[in-house]
Amino acid sequence: AMVREKAGQGVKVAVLPESALGLWTPTTERLWTDALSDLSVTVIGGAAAIQKSGYDTVMVEISGSGARILYRERMPVPVSMWQPWRRLTGDGGGANATIFDNPVMQVAGYRAAPLICYEQLIIWPVLQSMAMNADIIVAIANGWWTGGSNITAIQRASVTAWAKLFDVPLVIAFNE
């Protein structure tokens, strides 16, 4: 409903928070592409894509004509999400890390530096993206679990500082 409202106001790209799209499946993709079929808007949203080895936290681009995964999180939270030792013991699960992959994504003609949650707090993802000539930062996060703490405020301050340091625009979508 919010995307429809914003599209009616002329918005061409809507950015939704981490996890806003839920599990990314063919059914979820069809639901969204059908819902956007009569609109001239592109949605960038966070989802979880299940893999044999675990899952990827992703940013997906959706329009009425289709969808694609734009970005796979480079650095999930160690221990609670990213558990590389599980593969050594034969256990599956946990978030995958694509540490050196996809530092920029193309969004509406921009080279965007994608930052999901924890990546907003550490140096590597931002520096890697900016070294690849990103001209905008797109930061999404899921703060519902923070329970009134200042975690999302710290994330906002951090990503705002990065945007100011590199003198690039910033788009933030957090659910709190």
In DSSP terms, which residues pair with 67 in a beta bridge? 62
In DSSP terms, which residues pair with 45 in a beta bridge? 60
Going edge to edge, which strands form the sheet with 66-72?
A: 13-15, 42-51, 54-63, 66-72
pLDDT per position as a tens digit, 112-146:
999 999 999 999 999 999 999 999 999 999 887 77
Domains along the chain? 2-175 (3.60.110.10)
Mean predicted confidence (pLDDT) in 133-160? 91
Q: Is pLDDT larger for residue 145 or for residue 169?
A: 169
Task: Identify the pLDDT of residue 53.
Answer: 78
Contact 103, 115 (CB under 8 A): no
pLDDT per position as a tens digit, 57-92:
999 999 999 999 999 999 988 877 777 777 777 777
Task: Identify the pLDDT of residue 32.
Answer: 96
pLDDT per position as a tens digit, 25-35:
999 999 999 99
pLDDT per position as a tens digit, 93-115:
788 888 888 999 999 899 999 99
Task: Identify the pLDDT of residue 168.
Answer: 98
| Helix (H) or strand (E) segment spanning residue 123 | helix 123-131
- For the four alpha carbons of 154, 158, 164 and 170, in that order, the dihedral sign comes to negative
